[in-house]
Amino acid sequence: MISVEEAILKVSSFFYKAIPISISVENSLGYVLAEDVLSAIDMPPFAQSAMDGYAIKFHDSLEYTIVGEVKAGDAHVVSLKQGEAVRIFTGAPVPQTANAVIMQEKTTVANSTLFLEEQPKPQQNIRPQAEQITKGSLAVSKMSILSPSAISYLTSLGVTAVKVFPKPKVAIVVTGSELVQPGAPLTHGKIYESNSILLANTLKKEGIIDYEIYKVVDDFKHTKTLLDEVTKKHDFVLVSGGISVGDYDYVGKSLKEIGTEEIFYKIKQKPGKPLFFGKRAACFVFALPGNPASALTCFYMYALPMLRYYSGIEKPHLPRVNRKLSHNYTVNGIRAQFLKAVVKGHSVSVLSQQSSAMISGFIEANAYVFVPEFSTEINENESVEVILLP
C-alpha cells in the first residue's frame, strides 16, 4: 500500500501527451492548441467606421458637403476632398482620405449639407486597419485551451483548422453481477448500475467523447476476455468494481493474466483504497473500486489528471487551496481522507454524508477537505487543505 502523495507522483511519472492532430476550428472547443496560431490577415482588414454617422475630411468650418454613402460591405472607393463628407455606417470602410467619423446624433443635415456641433478630434470613431492584430503576429498561443471566444477570434481571422492535442480513447468497463440497467425491474439482490453514467458524464465534461461502455458479470473468463480486448483498442481503460479482495473480484487476476504491469495497487486513503494502476502495452488501466464515491474520488485524483495531461493540459490536477474549517471535526481512522465538503468564501464545512457507497454527497459538495494520514482532531478555524472539484 502506498501513500496518496506517492500514488499521485507515480501516476504523474507516466504522464505523456498525445501526438497533435489537425481538426476543424468549429469542432475545437476545449481542445489545447499544439502550436502558435499567427494571423494571416490584418484585423480589421481595412479602416472601419465605429459609428453610424458621417466620415469627413476636415476643413475650417462646421459645414460639410455630403457627396455619397458607404454602408457595411461596400467595396467602392470614395475619395473625399477637404470639406466633404459621406454618410457612413458601422463596420463600413472609411474613405482613405477621411480623418474622422461623426456620430449621426451630433449632426444635423439640411439638403446635402452636414452641420457639426463642434470640431471633431482627428481619427475619432475610426477603427484603424490592424487595430486588433497585424498580419503575421501571434493570435493565440500554443497550449491555450480553446474557449468559445478563442474559437470566435480565430474564425474572425479566417482560420478553419487548428493543430491540437487529441482527446484520449477511453473504455469504461463496468463489472458486477448485481447490476441492472435502469428501466429493467429491480429484483431482490440487484441494484441499478450507475457508475458507467457517472464516469461517462465526467469524461464528457472534460470534452472526452470518444469513450465506449462495456459491461461484464463477475465471471473470470468473461472479465479476462473483455479486458484483453479493450486494452488493445483504447488509450485508457477505466474499470469499475471487481478490484477488491472478494472471491468474485476478478479484475486484478484478469489484468495479471493478460500481462498488465502493476504500477501500484492500494492507496492509504479513504475512500478509494483498492485502486489499481497498471499498463499493458500502450494502454493505461485504472481499476477503480465499485463504490460510487470511491470510484469518483479515484477518478478525480489519479485518472483525470492523466487524461487531461494527455489532452495537452499543463496543470491537470484539481487545484488546492487552504480554507478555515467552520467546525470541529473528529477524524475517523488512520488513512488519509478525502472528505466531501462545501467551500463558501474563506471557510469550508465537511458534509455529514461521507459513505463511500453513496454518491449523493457529491451533489452538494464543491470540494474535498484533504486530511493527511494519522490525523485525529481538527479544530474550528484551523486551516485545512482543500481540493476544489471540477
Distances (CA, A) of 142 to 33, 71, 139, 159: 5, 38, 10, 15
Is residue 292 close enough to count as binding Mg ion by CB under 5 A?
A: no
CA–CA dist 205, 211 (Å, integer) = 13
Instruction: Compute the distance between CA of residue 89 and CA of residue 111 in angstroms, rounded to an integer.
Output: 19
Q: Supply the DSSP symbol for 106.
A: G
- Residue 21 near which of ligand AMP, Mg ion, none (CB within 5-8 Å, type-dependent): none
Stretch that binds ligand AMP, among 277-285, 289-297, 363-371, 378-386 (CB under 6 A): 289-297
DSSP string across 115-149: EESSPPPTTTTEE-TTSSB-TTSEEE-TT-B--HH
Check binding of 252 to ligand AMP (CB under 6 A): no
Q: Which of Mg ion, ligand AMP, none has residue 74 at its interface (CB below 5 to 8 Å by kind)?
A: none
| 227: CB partners within 8 A, 6+ apart | 173, 237, 239, 251, 254, 255, 258, 260, 285
Residue 191 in the binding site for ligand AMP (CB under 6 A): yes
* 326 interface partner picked from Mg ion, ligand AMP, none, CB below 5 to 8 A per type: none
Closest separation in Å from C-beta 266 to ligand AMP: 13
Give the range of 226-234, 240-248, 275-283, 338-346 binding ligand AMP by CB under 6 A: 240-248
Interface with ligand AMP (CB under 6 A), residue from 168, 241, 252, 361: 241
Q: Which has the closest alpha carbon to 288: 254, 322, 358, 239?
A: 239
Considering only 53, 168, 176, 292, the residue that binds Mg ion (CB under 5 A) is: 176
Name which of 295, 317, 90 is nearest 172 in CA terms: 295
Q: Which of residues 290-329 bind ligand AMP (CB under 6 A)?
A: 290-292
Rounded CA-CA distance 130/120 in Å is 23
**Residue in 28, 49, 99, 195 binding ligand AMP, rule: CB under 6 A:** 195
Residue 221 Cβ vs ligand AMP, minimum distance, rounded to whole Å: 17
Binding characters for Mg ion, 201-240, by CB under 5 A (x = yes): ----------------------------------------
CB of 218 to Mg ion, least distance (A): 6
Starting at the edge strand that comes first in sequence, how are the strands of the sheet with 32-33 ordered?
Answer: 21-24, 161-165, 32-33
260, 278 Cβ separation under 8 angstroms: yes
Give the three-class secondary structure for 110. strand
Place of cell 457507497: 357
In the region spanning residues 170 to 189, those forming contacts with ligand AMP, defined by CB under 6 A, are: 174, 176, 178-179
Could you say whether residue 20 binds Mg ion (CB under 5 A)?
no
Residue 337 binds which one of ligand AMP, Mg ion, none, with CB within 5 to 8 A depending on kind?
A: none
* 236, β-bridge pairs: 170, 284
244 binds ligand AMP (CB under 6 A): yes
Residue nearest to ligand AMP (CB): 290
**Residue 268 beta carbon to ligand AMP: minimum distance, rounded to whole angstroms:** 18
Determine if 166 is a binding residue for ligand AMP (CB under 6 A). Answer: no
Q: Does 194 bind ligand AMP (CB under 6 A)?
A: yes
Q: Which is nearer to Mg ion, 164 or 238 (CB)?
A: 238
Under a CB-based contact definition with an 8 Å cutoff, are residues 341 and 351 in contact? Answer: yes
Question: Could you write out the three-class secondary structure of 199-240?
Answer: HHHHHHHCCCCCEEEEEECCCHHHHHHHHHHHHHHCCEEEEE
In angstroms, what is the minimal distance from the CB of 271 to ligand AMP?
A: 11
The CA R_g of the chain, rounded to the nearest whole Å, is: 31
Contact between 289 and ligand AMP per CB under 6 A: yes
Binds Mg ion by CB under 5 A, chosen from 241, 305, 312, 361: 241
CB distance 367 to 389 below 8 Å: yes
Residue position matching grid coordinates 453481477: 177
53 binds ligand AMP (CB under 6 A): no
Chain residues binding ligand AMP by CB under 6 A are: 174, 176, 178-179, 191, 193-195, 240-242, 244, 246, 289-292, 357
